């Protein structure tokens, strides 16, 4: 690939500023999650704009039922592995449950640790108006923040289900208000999870910052999926918003079965595979 002057095109190094200009330019923003070095490396190699070290690692890596047990140390451990692999994408780290909701001071301490110890581009916080002051302060002191509205998994015990959110007018109006508050507070982008497409369209038109949807329809400025879902590794999890781009659970089982068969039947290793 070369530019107009015939020089090799420089890889894009993604920044929060650039993400914001993508909305204005009408360029769709591509985000996927990663929790380890190799997946992050491949995502980065193919030009993913944002790599989210999601606290969904509590579900897909650690095997918990919710994201609540995830700790700041867990996030830092996984984010460091991702960081080692990434050359171009913007890395955003999810702040886990109770690492920022408790006070501005706690948010500064924990988000500051992530920024300082890992060296990523931004953090993500769940929640609406009630995290507005926290977001404003973090942004003011130089910590870029991505917001997250709609289905906020850290609030599962408040809502009781993982159903589509904001289907009623009152909740939809509150979500619109929350989006404006977070935008005014300085978020550089906003994840909208599992809300009606019509509401996501309204939010996207109402705020100057890009919206990144997951189960929020086609009108958002970008899309995100959990990487294990789109690869078909979380095979029992089949919400309609997940498009499976591979069936890796089948591929892995098949490989494991072949290996087991080869070892038991003494076909592995051969002389060629030995020293």
Stretch that binds ligand KIV, among 49-57, 77-85, 178-186, 256-264 (CB under 6 A): 49-57
Please identify which residue in the block is written with the tokens 């581009």: 121
Instruction: Choose among 89, 70, 79, 71: nearest CA to 34.
Output: 79
Tokens standing for residue 224? 């995100």
Beta carbon of residue 59, minimum distance to ligand KIV (angstroms, whole number): 8
Residue 187 φ/ψ region, left for φ over 0, alpha for ψ in the -120 to 50 degree band, beta for the rest? beta
Q: Which of 19, 29, 33, 95 binds ligand KIV (CB under 6 A)?
A: 33
Q: Which of 193, 236, 247, 273 is catalytic?
A: 193
Parallel, antiparallel, or unpaired for β 189-193 and 145-150?
Answer: parallel
Q: Are 217 and 196 in contact (CB under 8 A)?
A: yes
The 3-state DSSP class for residue 202 equals: helix
Q: Which of 91, 122, 191, 192 binds ligand KIV (CB under 6 A)?
A: 191
If binding is defined by CB under 6 A, does position 172 make contact with ligand KIV? Answer: no
Q: Are 191 and 146 in contact (CB under 8 A)?
A: yes
Q: Which of 44, 55, 178, 221 binds ligand KIV (CB under 6 A)?
A: 55
If binding is defined by CB under 6 A, does position 189 make contact with ligand KIV? Answer: no
If binding is defined by CB under 6 A, does position 146 make contact with ligand KIV? Answer: no
User: In this complex, which beta carbon is closest to ligand KIV, that of residue 6 or of residue 187?
Assistant: 187
Q: Which of 89, 95, 214, 220 binds ligand KIV (CB under 6 A)?
A: 214
User: In this complex, which beta carbon is closest to ligand KIV, that of residue 193 or of residue 253?
Assistant: 193
If binding is defined by CB under 6 A, does position 94 make contact with ligand KIV? Answer: yes
Across the chain, the runs of DSSP E, i.e. the strands, are: 29-33, 50-53, 90-94, 122-124, 145-150, 189-193, 211-214, 222-225
Query: Would residue 193 show up in a list of annotated catalytic residues for this protein?
Result: yes
If binding is defined by CB under 6 A, does position 56 make contact with ligand KIV? Answer: yes
If binding is defined by CB under 6 A, does position 213 make contact with ligand KIV? Answer: no
CA 38/CA 34 separation, integer angstroms = 9
Stretch that binds ligand KIV, among 50-58, 74-82, 95-103, 201-209 (CB under 6 A): 50-58
Q: Is the peptide bond before 213 cis (omega within 30 degrees of 0)?
A: no
Comparing every residue's Cβ against ligand KIV, the nearest one is 54
Give the binding site for ligand KIV (CB under 6 A): 33, 52, 54-56, 94, 191, 214, 224, 226
């Amino acid at each position: 690939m070369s530019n107009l002057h015939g020089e090799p095109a420089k890889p894009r190094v993604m920044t929060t500023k650039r993400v914001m200009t993508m909305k204005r330019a009408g360029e769709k923003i591509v985000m996927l999650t990663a929790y380890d070095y190799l997946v992050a490396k491949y995502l980065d190699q193919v030009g993913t704009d944002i790599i989210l070290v999601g606290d969904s690692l509590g579900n897909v890596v650690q095997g918990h039922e919710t994201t609540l047990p995830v700790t700041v140390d867990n996030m830092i451990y996984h984010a460091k592995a991702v960081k080692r692999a990434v050359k171009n994408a913007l890395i955003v780290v999810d702040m886990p449950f109770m690492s920022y909701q408790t006070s501005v001071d706690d948010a500064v301490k924990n988000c500051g640790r992530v920024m300082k110890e890992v060296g990523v581009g931004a953090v993500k916080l769940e929640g609406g108006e009630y995290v507005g002051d926290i977001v404003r302060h973090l942004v003011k002191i130089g910590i870029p923040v991505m917001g997250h509205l709609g289905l906020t998994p850290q609030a599962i015990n408040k809502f009781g289900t993982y159903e589509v959110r904001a289907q009623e007018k009152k909740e939809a109006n509150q979500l619109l208000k929350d989006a404006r508050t977070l935008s005014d507070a300085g978020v550089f982008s906003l994840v909208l999870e599992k809300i009606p497409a019509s509401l996501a369209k309204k939010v996207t038109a109402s705020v100057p910052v890009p919206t990144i949807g997951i189960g929020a329809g086609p009108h958002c400025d970008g899309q995100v999926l959990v990487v294990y879902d789109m690869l078909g590794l979380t095979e029992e999890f089949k919400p309609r918003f997940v498009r499976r781009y591979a069936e890796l659970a089948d591929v892995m089982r098949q490989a494991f079965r072949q290996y087991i068969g080869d070892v038991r039947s003494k076909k592995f290793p051969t002389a060629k595979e030995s020293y």
